[in-house]
Amino acid sequence: MIVLGIESSCDETAAAIVRDGHELLSSVISSQISKHAQFGGVVPELAAREHLKNITPVVTSALAEAGMDKRDLDAIAVTSRPGLVPALLVGNAYAKGLAAALNIPIVGMNHFLGHIYGAFIEHKEILEDSGNFPLVALVVSGGHTAIVLIPADGKAVILGSTLDDAAGEALDKAAKLMGLPYPGGPVIDRLSKEGNPKAFDFPRSLTGRAGKAVNPEHRYDFSFSGVKTSLLYTVTKEPSLIPDRLPDLAASFQEAVIDVLTMKAMDAVRHSDAKLLCLCGGVACNSRLRTKVEAACLKYHVTFLPAPPKFCTDNAAMIGGLAWHYLRRGQPCDANFGINARLEPQLGLLPFAPLAGLLT
């Protein structure tokens, strides 16, 4: 089955063609970073206008790269949630129109789950082996930070998520406080290699590190507003730190964020007796995060599966690939689905788990 995936949830217009969920025939992404950099963040209305301008050329390029015509497509998958409403509207309107014109099935996809699937596109054998379950997914991006438990029956549950900023958002905001360009996360990652991560002792919220016990209901939750505020106070009190000790500031802030991500994820792994930890989402490209999580997995004899960088940031391959698993199990396909800006608290059944039953 050949599926065209379309992604427009934020500031990347993407299209990909995937055969049978795992064979990537093409992937095209048009980034809007330069358009939003002057504002220090994504402007929803501007993003929608850029999607409108780019979506036809991007889909056309994906088809050409795959050596295919529209009539070769068996189905279309489009991100319908979560995301920026104006941006989602463009992708969904285009996808539904194309599906109607071709008279083929269309399915609305969860962008958050797509990020998780990005770690498995090139590892079909892992998904088919029930011995790799239960597994824990650490999803870290600019919009989401969450820990997900996925058992072999596919009944996934979010164990914890951020109570305020997502990790990627916190890194971007920290970069802005330090006078670094947008997007700040990759800049901090590069700059941190020159700094001392122990130079400044920033807080690790909701870990019990400050001597206050963590409420059990927040065991797997995250909070990054405190570390961001601590950075603000630090640079306000000593303005000379910028630029004199900028690498140390960046490395120490990044280390605080990554320590919390790693500690929480490994706690979930040990408590659930997970066999595998997958790291996914845009922030999963961070070199320090990948190194620390890999070391922790090695320590506890857990398989570490990071999503390849090309499938970490927003892309359509993860959308088209995941859709195949729904389609082959009988997911009802029509154009009546809507869009949703928020992530639903219930993830439902994930059909790529080896023991997941037929969807109804």
Q: What are the tens digits of pLDDT across the range 4-37?
A: 999 999 999 999 999 999 999 999 999 999 999 9
Provide the 3-class DSSP secondary structure of residue 140.
Answer: strand
Domains 2-117+312-328 and 131-307 share a fold: yes
Q: Which fold has domain 131-307?
A: Nucleotidyltransferase; domain 5 (3.30.420)
CA neighbours closer than 13 Å in the CB half-sphere of residue 283: 26
Residue pair 277/126 in contact by the 8 Å Cβ criterion:
no
What's the pTM value of the predicted model, to 2 decimals? 0.95
Confidence of residue 357 (pLDDT cuts 50, 70, 90): low
Residue pair 98/20 in contact by the 8 Å Cβ criterion:
no
Per-residue confidence (pLDDT) for residue 359, from 0 to 100: 45
Statement: residue 360 has pLDDT above 60: no
pLDDT digits (tens, 9 = 90+) for 129-151: 999 999 999 999 999 999 999 99
Rounded average pLDDT over 157-185: 96
Rounded average pLDDT over 247-251: 97
Confidence of residue 346 (pLDDT cuts 50, 70, 90): confident
pLDDT digits (tens, 9 = 90+) for 42-89: 999 999 999 999 999 999 999 999 999 999 999 999 999 999 999 999
Percent of the chain surpassing pLDDT 70: 99
Q: Per-domain residue ranges for the chain? A: 2-117+312-328, 131-307
Residue pair 6/55 in contact by the 8 Å Cβ criterion:
yes
Q: Which superfamily, per CATH, for 2-117+312-328?
A: ATPase, nucleotide binding domain (3.30.420.40)
Rounded average pLDDT over 92-119: 97
Per-residue confidence (pLDDT) for residue 209, from 0 to 100: 83
Nearest to 27 by CA among 5, 55, 56: 5
User: Reading across the β-sheet that carries 135-140, which strands appear in turn?
Assistant: 157-161, 145-150, 135-140, 276-280, 303-306
